[in-house]
Amino acid sequence: MNPKLRICRFSVVSLLTLYMNLVLTNLVSYRQYWYTQTYNNGTALKPLHDTFFIDWVHGYNIPTPSTITLRDMVDVCTYVWVLLTIIAWFAFSRKSVIIAKGLMAQIMLIPAFSVAQLMTVVPDSTPNCLEVFEIPTTEDMSWVYWKWPQRACGNMLWSSDITQLVVFTALAVQMVPSRRTKLSNMVWLLGEVWTFVTIIFVFSSRYQYTVDVISTYVVVKLSMTNPTIEFLARWFFVRNGEYFERVPMTELTSATI
């Protein structure tokens, strides 16, 4: 019995995860609006002082059009790497546990990061983000359940782009057979360089605070090495996944004297 992906379950949960991300992201933006109206007399929150961006990069000298272009490059880098990894999985691997592990990582990380951001209101790194990102500023919050969030206001404690790059780099490395060490190292190095270039765009465009990027990178790296994610992925999304994880044991035959 070969391990097979539970396609129907995987597809349904993937759609539910996308919708969950939509709602939680919009809730973070709505909470930013709610806080400014309730505790800040309707005045937009001022961005925190980021020493790396202000004192080292001198990001306040970057023109707004250039900043927007750099932010778009963050999205381009993220989407391209995710797409390349998925194409590589279809073309060279198709191991059920790999794609299942990617989804299980999203299921665990998205709610955890979103709840943390809902509990702690952090000023967005973009001044007047509610206006710049065209976040609805009404008491009616029905838009939270259907509006696609092009940009989130106040989504600052964690970096969603860096999260996806770290997750899909780990999946790309896992696709390479263990015996092909050099190829595995090359894929890992390519993923790390790609992530580093994206981080440069993040810092250059004041997309997020430095602490967001660093903490996200470390936490997601550690999460992807935790065996719990793969165990749950096999158990929930892979048929016969547990069977092939059993360690072969040498059976002792009974002997008579």
What CA–CA distance (Å, rounded) separates 164 from 193?
Answer: 14
Using 50, 70 and 90 to split pLDDT, how confident is the model at 241? Answer: low
- With H, G, I as helix, E, B as strand and everything else as coil, classify residue 239: strand
Is there a domain that residue 182 lies in? yes
What CA–CA distance (Å, rounded) separates 188 from 184?
Answer: 6
Looking at residue 58, what is its pLDDT? 63
Segment holding 90, helix H or strand E: none
Is there a domain that residue 150 lies in? yes
Is there a domain that residue 252 lies in? no
Is there a domain that residue 116 lies in? yes
What CA–CA distance (Å, rounded) separates 17 from 247?
Answer: 33
Residue 68, pLDDT > 80, answer: no
Residue 255, pLDDT > 60, answer: no
CA-to-CA separations, 115 to 30, 58, 177, 218, in angstroms, rounded: 13, 32, 37, 19
Residue 74, pLDDT > 70, answer: yes
Residue 4, phi then psi, degrees to nearest 5: -125, 145
Is there a domain that residue 80 lies in? yes
Number of domains in the chain: 1
Mean pLDDT of the chain: 87
What CA–CA distance (Å, rounded) separates 22 from 38?
Answer: 24
Q: What is the mean pLDDT of residues 72-92?
A: 94
Residue 89, pLDDT > 50, answer: yes
Instruction: Identify which of 108, 198, 107, 129 has the alpha carbon closest to the alpha carbon of residue 161.
Output: 198
Write out pLDDT tens, residues 106-118: 999 999 999 998 9
Domain that holds residue 126: 4-239
59 versus 13: the higher-pLDDT residue is 13
pTM: 0.87
Residue 249, pLDDT > 50, answer: no
Q: Provide DSSP, 25-44.
A: HHHHHHHHHHHHHHHSTTPP
Is there a domain that residue 244 lies in? no
Is there a domain that residue 178 lies in? yes
Is there a domain that residue 110 lies in? yes
Looking at residue 203, what is its pLDDT? 84
